[in-house]
Every structure is written in C-alpha cells, then in structure tokens.
Structure 1
Amino acid sequence: MTTAVTIPRHGGAGGRTVAAARARQVVKAYGAGETRVLALDGVDVDIARGRFTAIMGPSGSGKSTLMHCLAGLDTVTSGQIFLDDTEITGLKDKKLTQLRRDRIGFIFQAFNLLPTLSALENITLPMDIAGRKPEGQWLERVVETVGLGGRLKHRPSQLSGGQQQRVAVARALAARPEIIFGDEPTGNLDSRAGAEILGFLRRSVDELGQTIVMVTHDPVAAAYADRVLYLADGRIVDETHDPTADQVLERMLRFSGDQPRTPRSEARGRRS
C-alpha cells in the first residue's frame, strides 16, 4: 500500500518531483465508430518544474487538448495525468475543482476580468473566493514583476488591452500556483503588448520560480520558452530546447511540408 506524502506548497521544491505535471499514454477521443477522432494518441510527456514550456502544432494537432487535459479542464479517454504526485484522472468533480482552484493558475486569450472590480480586486478574486488571504510580500512582488504598481485602483475599462492582460497574469501568479497554463495569452494583443506579457512570463519563471505551460501558434512567442513541444496528429513529434524564433519557424514549416531552402537554416535548426 502506498503512503500519501504531504508536499510543501511554498518555499522551494522540498520533496517534490522534478516534473510539475506528467502525462502517461494519454488518449483523448471524440465520437465513436467511423466518426471517432483521436485528438491525443498515446501522449507521454513530463513538464519540468520551474521552466517555461511552449506547445505548438498545426490546427487540429491536439495542442490545446493536451493543455486542457494537463490542467484538468478536460477528461482523458485513457491514460493518466499527474499534477506533481497527484493523479488527477478519475478525480471527482468537487476534488478536481478544488485542485484547479488551489494549485493551478490560468491565463487565457480573453482577459476574463470582472468590469465592476478594480485591478487589485480582480487579482485577488480567486483567493477571496477560496477564503484565503493574499501573502502581502508575494503580492507586492508579483505586482512589481508585471508593472502594475500605478494601476491597481483602475477598473478594466480604464486599462489598455495589454494592461488588462497584465492583471490576468498577476491574478494567475498571486495565488502561487504550482503551475500556470496559458492558452494563446497574447492572441488578443498587438506585438508590443504581447512582447511585454511574454517578458513578464519569462521573468516569473526566472525570478519567481514559476512553472508555465503555454499553447501558442507564434514562433516569436515560443522563443521565450525554455522548451518547445511540437504536436502533429495528436502525438508529440519533436521538441526544441532554448529555441530561437527562426528555429521554431523552421520546425513548423517542416510539419506543414514546406522545407526551408537554405541549408544553413536547416543546420541551425538541429539541436543536440
């Protein structure tokens, strides 16, 4: 019989596993019989703790489905999903909701801010709902990291799109989750605002020790990550470590069947 181990929530890795999240032989199917479609086909992956992972692939490759399954937002047809040492596949709805609330942060393309609340109230809302008090020093550090010091009393309508997404990033960070999932978090922003948000996410990994998983279609956004996973037809088919935007673009062109013509570009794309 396996004995449950209490893992410390804050203050370093402690006895935690190296992987913040894991998928083991995960299959996600929609429909049945001749109409059955495999969105994920036997996926095995470890998401490293304290690192920034990007997930890319063509439309319909399964990248958003993988993120939703890892985050407990969608169920799997078979296989296992673990958050740290907790298997989330098979958890009852109430337990899964509590786990998402207490241990996972989310940043979506839509900012999902309440218009009647100030920026600060939006940031602390999940903790308020959970009956938890924000940690003052941590909250100050998060606000400083995303550059919201002078905007905390403003309502969403008084903020630009980039500032609203900063609030969403701060909201995800403020509760000190074990892992943050971002689904095209810069998709509604112009390039300058998008670069700011990606810079904040990068800093949250480097300076705050956060773990981030981001689905994106943008090679420039993916280049902010430590590791890029490439999906095609529901399977992980490649990965890049410490990527550049050019390397990510080259990999994506390969999957679309358009081979780059420059040999130098091909050589630069290979990683040991």
Structure 2
Amino acid sequence: MAARAAQLTKAYGEGQTQVVALDAVDIDIARGRMTAIMGPSGSGKSTLMHCLAGLDSVTRGRVWIAGTEITRLKDKDLTKLRRDKIGFVFQAFNLLPTLSAKENITLPMDIAGRKADPEWVEQVVTAVGLQDRLTHRPAELSGGQQQRVACARALAGRPDIIFADEPTGNLDSRSGAEVLTFLRRSVDVLGQTVVMVTHDPTAASYAHQVVFLGDGRIVDEMDAPTPDRVLERMKRFDAIRTS
C-alpha cells in the first residue's frame, strides 16, 4: 500500500463545542492507482487528505506512508518524509514567478540539495507536454500550463505518492482536462500513485476508484467511475440533506 490509515479520527475543539471532522476512518490507498476522494462540503475530504499527507495532526488513529507510520514521527523526520516520499499539487499553482518552468520543476530537489535525475525529469516533462515551455516564466504560461508545471514538480522527485487537492479548481474545462489526463497518465505510464480530492464528477471519472465521505466517515466506494455514476451518487447526499 502507498498509504494507509487505521481508525483515523480528527476532532476540533473540546466538550460540547467539539467538531469531529473524521470519525474512525479506515482506508487503504493502493500503489499504482489514482484514487479520488469526494463528498459534500464539510464531509472531511480535505481533512482526510491533509492527515494522510502529514500536513495535519491526528486526534486518534494511525497513518502510514510507504510503510512508515507518520503519526509517531518527530517534526524533523516528518518534514523529511514529506520532502522525500510525497508530492503535492494544490488548487493554487504555487509557482515562483521569477523562476522558469524548469527551475520551478526542480526547485524542491534544489532546496533539498538533491540532484535531479535528468532522464526522469525529461520523461516527466514529455509526459506533461512542456518541452517547448521550459524557459518560460509562470506569467508567460496559461493556467493549465502552470498547473502542469506544478504536476511535473510534484513528480520530479519520484515520490511514493502524490496528493492533489482540487487540482482543477482554478482552471477552465479544457485546461482541467489536460491536467487530469496528465495525472492519470502519470499513473498508467509512469507508475505513480495519485490521491485527488475533488467535488467535480468529471474530474473523479479520471480515477480508478472513488471514495465517498459523509460526515467524516467513508460511506461508499466506486470502481471504474463515470461522470454520470458519480453524479448520481452525489445526488444521494443532497437527497439525504433535504429529506
């Protein structure tokens, strides 16, 4: 497994004002697959991703990344594991405006003092279709191209797993499709593992599997999703809320 959680619980506050964002969640993230996490607002999907990725602490339960239990790591060791084992793609592109696309792609490794594998970086750049944009700065790139740079940056260090939080949230449908196609290709062709939080049924349909959250618990799973099947499942959340 690329990632795993057992009885993962995340609560905010105490006593009567306590809010339980995740309620004893058990989840296994298989290697070499793209998994989408969906649910209505407040269901805990972003909290789950942040806890799995070591970006947020857990109240109870255990989390493993690449066989290492991260819930018992000291801050320094957790920072190193995130740097070496995890790639991140967020809704905001988070590119440095003064650097070229290629410099942004290799930036995490440069900061860590690690030398990039030129053959792997070239393979990633080719897969994301940025060969003729490497010398361009972010302001010279479209939104879709900037997010593809961010995806390539996440892949460049060959992490065990990539977490993508609403990666198409700031993109139009065409640019979003480009990014989603690349994320799926990174799994099918490059052997990566991707976990993506999304509210978009079309985006979720690019995944091998969709995990549905409701009120902090996993309430359903779907293999080989299609936009229509995902939309129908999401409508059931709305029906429950309005009934």
TM-score surpassing 0.5?
Answer: yes
TM-score (norm 2): 0.98
User: What's the secondary structure of 2:219's corresponding residue?
Assistant: strand
Within-5 A mapping of 1:177-196: 177-196=159-178
User: What's the secondary structure of 2:133's corresponding residue?
Assistant: coil
Letter of the aligned partner of 1:216 in structure 2? T
Cα distance, 1:255 vs. partner?
A: 1.4
Letter of the aligned partner of 1:226 in structure 2? H
Letter of the aligned partner of 1:220 in structure 2? T
User: What's the secondary structure of 2:132's corresponding residue?
Assistant: coil
User: What's the secondary structure of 1:24's corresponding residue?
Assistant: strand
Within-5 A mapping of 1:1-272: 19-257=1-239
Structure ID, larger Rg: 1
Cα distance, 1:136 vs. partner?
A: 1.0
Cα distance, 1:112 vs. partner?
A: 0.1
Query: Mind listing any 5+ residue stretches in structure 2 that lack a counterpart?
Result: none
Cα distance, 1:84 vs. partner?
A: 2.0
Letter of the aligned partner of 1:190 in structure 2? D
TM-score (norm 1): 0.88
User: What's the secondary structure of 1:257's corresponding residue?
Assistant: helix
Query: What residue is the counterpart of 1:4 in the other structure?
Result: none
Greater relative CO (CA pairs within 8 A, separation 6+): 2
User: What's the secondary structure of 2:72's corresponding residue?
Assistant: coil
CA distance in 2, matches of 1:252, 1:35: 28
User: What's the secondary structure of 1:89's corresponding residue?
Assistant: helix
Cα distance, 1:124 vs. partner?
A: 0.1
Poorly superposed stretches of 4+, deviation over 3 Å: none
Identity of aligned residues (%): 73
- Residues 180-213 of structure 1, C-alpha deviation per residue, up to 9 Å, x if partnerless? 0000000000000000000000100000000000
Cα distance, 1:90 vs. partner?
A: 2.2
CA distance in 1, matches of 2:151, 2:9: 30
Letter of the aligned partner of 1:90 in structure 2? R
Query: What residue is the counterpart of 1:12 in the other structure?
Result: none
CA distance in 2, matches of 1:24, 1:84: 15
CA distance in 1, matches of 2:18, 2:79: 28
CA distance in 2, matches of 1:247, 1:96: 38
Of Structure 1 and Structure 2, which has the larger fraction of its residues in helix? 2
CA RMSD of aligned residues (A): 0.9
Letter of the aligned partner of 2:165 in structure 1? D
CA distance in 2, matches of 1:256, 1:61: 12
- Residues 92-135 of structure 1, C-alpha deviation per residue, up to 9 Å, x if partnerless? 11111110001000000000000000000000000001111111
Letter of the aligned partner of 2:120 in structure 1? W
User: What's the secondary structure of 1:192's corresponding residue?
Assistant: helix
